Amino acid sequence: MLSEKTILTVDDDDTLLEILEDRFKKEGYSVISCRGSKEAIEGINNHVIHAAILDLVLPDGHGFDVLEYLKELNPNCPIIILTGHATISTAVDAIKKGAYDYLTKPVSFEELHRKLKQAMEMYELRRENVVLRAKIEERCQFERMIGKSDVMQKLYRIIERVAATDATVLITGESGTGKELVAHAIHRLSKRRDKPFVPINCGAIPEELLESELFGHEKGAFSGAFRTRPGRFEIADGGTVFLDEIGEMSLKLQVKLLRFLQDRKFERVGGTRTIKVNIRVIAATNRNLWEAVKKGSFREDLYYRLNVIPIHVPPLRERKEDIPLLVEHFLSRHCQTKGIPLKNIQSEVLQCFERYSWPGNVRELENLMERLVILSEGNEITLHDLPDRFLTKEERGSAPFRIKLDEKGIRLKEMLESIERDLILQALERTGGVKNKAAKLLGLNRTTLIEKIKKFKIQYPS
Ligand SMILES: Nc1ncnc2c1ncn2[C@@H]1O[C@H](COP(=O)(O)OP(=O)(O)OP(=O)(O)O)[C@@H](O)[C@H]1O
Ligand SMILES: [Mg+2]
């Protein structure tokens, strides 16, 4: 039998060993019965043991020795101590040393079997958890998020845990870090996934309109309210509402929102009927909301209501190891949607990205990749294609001189001399021939400039 589990039983009582062997075999286990610690150690050395039942008082030693030996070889093997009343305190010590549980004699087979199954299930679960964790650790993509850095792995785990609850979440992070993606992921992984996800940008809607957007309005509630209209909270019933840029909400509306969060009840604007909905609220902000509380522009009580579970999305500069993955992702996506063959990216460009601080985070990278796909010539994206802000002073200076080296080759010395000569002339022209100034423009000292002028026989004015 493939799935047969092997149980090690260790006891000085022959009759008990026989009964256990007989009954466990009937249950489909394979059994190794041992009368003392020496036999037990032999058994452990020669078999894969899935669980052990261990008496502590043995004729040739102590059960602890067997326990420790087995634990060291196989830390995930459940061990149940079977003991007489006299040795209960020792049995407790055995648990401290890693035994799963103890039972006192006499014990029914059923009880022992039940305990053993429990122990094996628990260890199995633990093992699966370890495997699962290992799998999560290799994740490069989670929902629609890309990133394999430690901070992203941590974020994925938090999202999974939070998605299983109904708690209100406050997502913080700089602009473009992926706060909306996080909110989406929480919704999609939650039991509300088949119900609506309703985002609303509190910063983009004027205050008067925002109230009726959220809570809806009755016909005639204000001029222009020609018919009754349900708000986003009603539309989202059963699902999730995403209150983006919550920091922009006016103090007046904050009061209404607080009231709503307390009992999930509200009235439409201009209405009297109380409406109750079942929604989860996720809020996000790129502002420091706590600072806003201190300044008095955000209510402290609302802050606590929203900040039940805080999730911080790290800026891109704190997870630069994710940049190549993101580049690859956006590059292939933009090439695909534009129907052009996949472009290469020069390694210098990636180095440049590594240095850059990405104030606009992933959004900035995404937009840049789109621009590069469109604007770069040929099938490679090079330093030439990058906007100036990405380049160091030297690269900015050298980029226009980049000369492609092809099969024909070049005459390096002559080429460099002609570039040098040209730049010196330009510097002289620009400074009206004042050598001090020209030298400064070129990053040279005056003597070196004069030497070069002589060497290249530069005449200025010509
Ligand atoms: N980890 C990521 N993997 C792939 N794409 C991402 C990731 N993070 C963000 N993006 C993309 O970057 C863009 C910005 O993300 P999103 O709108 O979620 O950011 P945000 O934090 O809500 O920004 P803002 O504060 O400006 O509203 C989106 O197009 C999103 O798809
Ligand atoms: Mg957003």
**Are 170 and 271 in the same domain?**
yes
**Are 103 and 169 in the same domain?**
no
Distance CA(245)–CA(419), nearest Å, equals: 53
**Are 228 and 337 in the same domain?**
no
Q: What is the pLDDT along the chain (462 residues), one digit of tens a residue?
A: 445 889 999 999 999 999 999 999 999 999 999 999 999 999 998 888 999 999 988 888 888 899 999 988 888 889 999 887 667 777 778 888 888 888 888 889 999 999 999 888 887 777 766 666 655 556 788 889 999 999 999 999 999 999 999 999 999 999 999 999 999 999 999 999 999 999 999 999 998 899 999 999 999 988 888 999 999 999 999 999 999 999 999 999 999 999 999 999 999 999 999 999 999 999 999 999 999 999 999 999 999 999 999 999 999 999 999 999 999 999 999 999 888 888 999 999 999 999 999 999 999 999 999 989 988 888 899 988 888 888 777 766 655 555 667 777 778 888 788 788 888 988 998 888 899 999 999 999 999 999 999 998 888 776
Q: How far is CA 304 from the centre of its chain?
A: 24
Residue 438's domain comprises: 412-455
Distance 361 CA to ligand 2 centre (A): 12
Instruction: Note whether residue 153 is domain-resident.
Output: yes
Distance CA(20)–CA(9), nearest Å, equals: 8
Instruction: Note whether residue 249 is domain-resident.
Output: yes
Of all ligands present, the nearest one to the C-alpha of 153 is 1
CATH number (domain holding residue 435):
1.10.10.60
pTM of the model: 0.62
Distance 176 CA to ligand 1 centre (A): 5
Nearest CA to ligand 1 atom 30: 178
Distance 311 CA to ligand 1 centre (A): 15
Number of domain units in the chain: 4
**Are 297 and 230 in the same domain?**
yes
Dump pLDDT digits (tens) for 273-321. 999 999 999 999 999 999 999 999 999 999 999 999 999 999 999 999 9
Instruction: Note whether residue 197 is domain-resident.
Output: yes
For the beta carbon of residue 41, count every other beta carbon within 10 angstroms. Answer: 18
Distance 201 CA to ligand 1 centre (A): 15
**Are 182 and 124 in the same domain?**
no
Distance CA(279)–CA(233), nearest Å, equals: 7
Q: Is 224 left (phi over 0), alpha (psi -120 to 50) or beta?
A: left
Instruction: Note whether residue 407 is domain-resident.
Output: no
Cis previous bond, 106, omega within 30:
yes
Helix axes 109-137, 14-26, angle to 10 degrees: 60
Distance CA(311)–CA(172), nearest Å, equals: 6
CATH number (domain holding residue 63):
3.40.50.2300
The token pair that represents 150 in the structure block:
């430690």
Nearest CA to ligand 1 atom 8: 178
Nearest CA to ligand 1 atom 16: 178
For residue 62, the model assigns a pLDDT of 87
**Are 175 and 120 in the same domain?**
no
